Structure 1
């Protein structure tokens, strides 16, 4: 099948116009200009981008990964798939050790059958000073037994762990994770610059939702933000206009070309109406699309987002003014590369051999159609 469109975004450049030859689940050829024969599907003025890869998402469609059930996971995945996310991780917030082990064990089955790209543990090894929307009473220090228990429950399905490296045992935990082939991410941390640098030297390779739930950047006390900006590692950014100002997005993209990845950090209310929800053990109020911990004054801590990846792409391009190619790279290519999902037959880019995960966008960057593994899943 040949698809043609006014723009096709590839890793090297934007083809305008462009075309793709699909062979079953794979992309066989990609070209610019007129296709070698009349296209089977002419997408007209649309832009074709690779399927989005979201490595930090807790829920959507009213459901949450924290329940650990296949039914809930399917609702979350279907909700985000309709918005262009064709590969996603299941992110778990802080809970008791037993409940987290149970959730990891159940979700690992969905990783093995290909419905999820992996599991991301955001907690319980987080700073009490920067816990955000995580249950303070369930926070813990990363002793070897608890680290091994959660990794063991996943049997290889846990791909990433966010932790505060300044906690007792934090650096040892980073090394333990790296030795196990798990990405150690710095987040929900009150670390100093030197403590964060020590974690990076120990093998940490990511900053979880940069700026948010971190000791702030100060010109005499750069903290973890300064360490992450000062190192050749990747950083997550939540482009919803709530977590970060557009100028901050522009600054970080300029400072770390090819190292930024967009994440939604979405909770259950993504793709669902305003209302009262839960994030792990915490009660959350969603008003006008903003999720906050329930409080008497309505000004509780930000509790994830209601973001979908297509909305993040629109915000980054339309509001922050970032180039489309850079934003698509951050929404697809960088996260796929970071988790090793970008092999010759992998995802995250439009090039020969890759899986045919595609998103068709209109002039307003709204999703028109979504393809997963060579099959249209929305029309």
Structure 2
């Protein structure tokens, strides 16, 4: 059995102790409690749960929509930055394009199950095509009404963990409503929508449970027209936010932190993540990486170049969160939201997914299901 010593973040707080690793799982987590303030003052490694990213389009020049081995390449890039569990995220696209992407994800899930240097692909985040044509963001205009039949057909190829929809995409038929998706067992988030506060609240009442990249590509908050953002802040139990400091102002993230207990961080990363400035693909769209972000030709933000190690540091350095809360928002809450109870926590019986930082929050190693991504003992 392998072991790792350091300051370890457990569900009850930091301990100074040892993790025992037996194969792919944690066999034991033991030690004495230690105050977080002492953790950054020590030369001991800081061991946190591996990151869980529920919104990943691409990385390393590869886009999930490319199919073939693209999803595997994306998982290999993001694990280098500490993401040990992810959802491969698709774009609004014609049905044939989605089938190609899903086939690639299915193959990648098989490959990552025996690939030490790749994040575990838990499933697919289907972002569209059931979104609002008036709030496309960087999505191409292949929107259509909700179709439970289409969702089930894709789910048979690769498991769908999360679906982003707009309330206005519900056509009202038996096969085309949010409640139909929920009753069929799918987890639904709201996004890419110009819906009113009332329509968003009705969608939550119909079984939607969260919001996709909060604030972005949705109707904003006005004191007489609260919009989608108002519904999220007033009623949501969960929402994702992109903490790259471009998509959302730190002050707006603080508002969401005070309002939404289950606010969790995502990268919404594109093929440009981990790559130099230049042109890349985002589904059928051509995007440009420049000035730290990714944009369409008209300047619209089009996903990000963010990785989860930088997300953690932004939460701490720009928002002032504690290391404990930053880890919660980049790992545990997302894992809990999708029911991945063996991920996002350092307890006996969980998968041995960890990130190892030094006192300056420089990433020193990533351990994915018990194996060092960087080949260390």
- TM-score, normalized by length of structure 2? 0.90
Q: Which residue does 1:13 correspond to in 2?
A: 13
Residues 71 and 104, structure 2, Cα contact 8 Å, conserved in 1 = no
User: How many Å separate the matches in 2 of 1:364 and 1:69?
Assistant: 39
- Partners of 2:275 and 2:251 lie apart in 1 by 29
CA distance in 2, matches of 1:150, 1:164: 19
| Match status 1:57 vs 2:62 | no
Secondary structure in 2 matching 1:353: coil
**SS of residue paired to 1:126:** coil
Deviations along 1:296-350, whole A, 9 cap, x unmatched?
Answer: xxxx2100000000000000111111121111111111111111111xxx11101
Instruction: Report Cα offsets for 1:7-43 as digits up to 9, x if no partner.
Output: 211122122x232122222212222339xxxxxxxx9
Q: Deviations over 1:100-126 (max 9, x none)?
A: 123223323433564411011111111
Distance 1:247 1:131 in 2: 25
Quote the residue 2:326 is aligned against.
327
State the Cα deviation string for residues 40-87 of structure 1 (Å, max 9, x = none): xxx9422100111111000001111111112x2221111100000011
Shift of 1:144: 4.2
CA distance in 2, matches of 1:239, 1:46: 25
In the alignment, which residue of structure 2 is the partner of 1:183?
187
Deviation at 1:188, TM superposition (A): 0.4
Aligned partners of 1:12 and 1:217: how far apart in 2? 36
CA distance in 1, matches of 2:252, 2:362: 24
SS at match of 1:54: strand
Alignment of 1:1-379 (within 5 A): 1-5=2-6, 7-15=7-15, 17-33=16-32, 44-70=43-69, 72-111=70-109, 114=113, 115-136=120-141, 138-154=142-158, 157-169=159-171, 172-257=176-261, 259-295=262-298, 300-342=299-341, 346-378=342-374, 379=376
**What is residue 40 of structure 1 aligned with on the other side?**
none
How many Å apart are 1:220 and its aligned residue? 1.6
SS at match of 1:33: strand
Q: What TM-score does the superposition give when structure 1 sets the normalisation length?
A: 0.89
Please state how far the C-alpha of 1:274 moved relative to its aligned partner.
0.8
Q: Work out whether residues 5 and 17 of structure 2, in 8 Å CA contact, stay in contact via their aligned partners in 1.
A: yes
- Long gaps (5+) in structure 2: 34-41, 114-119
SS of aligned partner of 1:116 = strand
| Structure 1 unaligned spans of 5+ | 35-42
Alpha-carbon distance between aligned partners in 1 of 2:25 and 2:295, rounded to the nearest angstrom: 41
- Could you say what secondary structure the match of 2:86 adopts? strand
Contact 1:276-1:283 within 8 A present in 2 as well? yes
Are 2:78 and 2:307, in contact at CA under 8 Å, matched by a contact in 1? yes
Q: Distance in 1 between matches of 2:140 and 2:56?
A: 18
